[in-house]
Amino acid sequence: MKKLTIVVPAFNEEEMLPISMNKLLEIEDRLIKDELITSDSDVMVVNDGSKDKTWEVITKLHKENSRIKGIKFSRNFGHQNALIAGLDIAIKETDMIVTIDADLQDDPEAIIEMVKKANEGTDIVYAVRNNRDTDSWFKKNTAGAFYKFLNLLGVKLVDNHADFRLMTKRAVETLLSYKERNLFLRGLVPLLGYKTDKIYYKRGTREAGETKYPLKKMLSFAWEGLTSFSIAPVRLISIFGILASLVGVFMLIYTVITKLMGDTSQGWSSLMISIWMLGGLQMLSLGVIGEYIGKITLEVKNRPRYIIEEILK
């Protein structure tokens, strides 16, 4: 039998944690009873620099039940880093890990099916939602377009899968050997290979508290996914550049011919338009190239992905 650890990132989740911990432990209890996981299976909450009483809640839950463990970050490092920290710490003492959000929008009942698949020898089980009804119209459409766009650029993602997945020990260890700072886990995991499978679930609504992903975080997450996994934007710029110079050559030939045919030169407006358009294009190109250089700077610095202040085990 194998030990299961459920890793839960939490940022300002004081209202949600008592409910979700209760539910997750209850699911583990059922799995334990059916002898699908060992009886020391646990839940690890990563407190991502919450501003509310999340850590106090985790400490209290840990006292009541030592199967609830906690990691406290020294400040907010973001969802993806909270997940990585949980995997990093938990994998030393467990055989498989399920990652799930604290709000339980992802149906925790699906964990049962995931564990069964893992016990049959699957290394990575993706939970895929079969509806987006509970997302706002805006989120549904922007997310859909974003995934299509990434696919177009050649980034392989599992459709409608967020960070709700099970990974066995060797899959987690392989994932941890990817040392990049710019983390976009749902792009990385499909690169690991191994035996993978999917299970389907219905996504619900957040029971308590509100989304910790405001538009600003969502946009930065999307940008991260795009530029960490694809150098297509830089290539696109080269193509733009080649096209622009071809237009320039064409215009040169055209002016020489009109000149030879005796026309006076007019073209002040066309000149101005070209200058502005090319200038704009160049600035845009520099911006995108700068973005990649910025990424290189971040990676080269090799800063820690997270800093832990306290651990409850």
| Residue ranges binding ligand UDP (CB under 6 A) | 9-11, 13, 48, 76, 78-79, 82, 101-103, 105, 211-213
Residue 187 contact among ligand UDP, Mg ion, none, beta carbon within 5 to 8 Å by kind: none
86 contacts 72 by C-beta, under 8 angstroms:
no
Burial of 26 (0-12, 13-18, 19+ CB in 10 A): exposed
Query: What single-letter DSSP state applies at residue 204?
Result: -
Closest separation in Å from C-beta 16 to ligand UDP = 8
Torsions phi, psi for 184 (to 5 deg): -140, 85
Residue 138 interface partner, choices Mg ion, ligand UDP, none, CB cut-off 5-8 Å depending on type = none
Beta carbon of residue 274, minimum distance to ligand UDP (angstroms, whole number): 44
Q: Helix, strand, or coil here: 251? A: helix
Q: Judged by CB, which is closer to ligand UDP: 100, or 155? A: 100
The partner in contact with residue 82, picked from ligand UDP, Mg ion, none with C-beta cut-offs of 5 to 8 angstroms by kind, is ligand UDP
Non-local (6+) Cβ contacts of 249 within 8 A are none
Q: 52 has which bridge partners?
A: none
Q: Toward ligand UDP, which CB reaches closer, 28 or 103?
A: 103
**CA distances to 10, 281, 292 from 284, in Å:** 37, 5, 13
Query: Given the complex with ligand UDP, which of 102 and 114 has the nearer CB atom?
Result: 102
| Tokens 């987690």, residue located | 172
Distance, in Å, from the CA atom of 285 to the CA atom of 276, rounded to the nearest integer, reads 14
Residue 76 CB, nearest approach to ligand UDP (Å): 5
Quick one: 67 or 164, whose CB is closer to Mg ion? 164
- CB of residue 83 to ligand UDP, shortest distance in Å: 8
Q: Which is nearer to ligand UDP, 36 or 162 (CB)?
A: 162
* Cβ proximity to ligand UDP, 36 vs 89, nearer residue: 89
The verdict on 41 binding Mg ion (CB under 5 A) reads: no
Amino acid at 248: G
At 217, is the secondary structure helix, strand, or coil? helix
Residues 75-114 that bind Mg ion (CB under 5 A): 101, 103, 105
In the complex, which residues of this chain contact Mg ion (CB under 5 A)?
Answer: 101, 103, 105
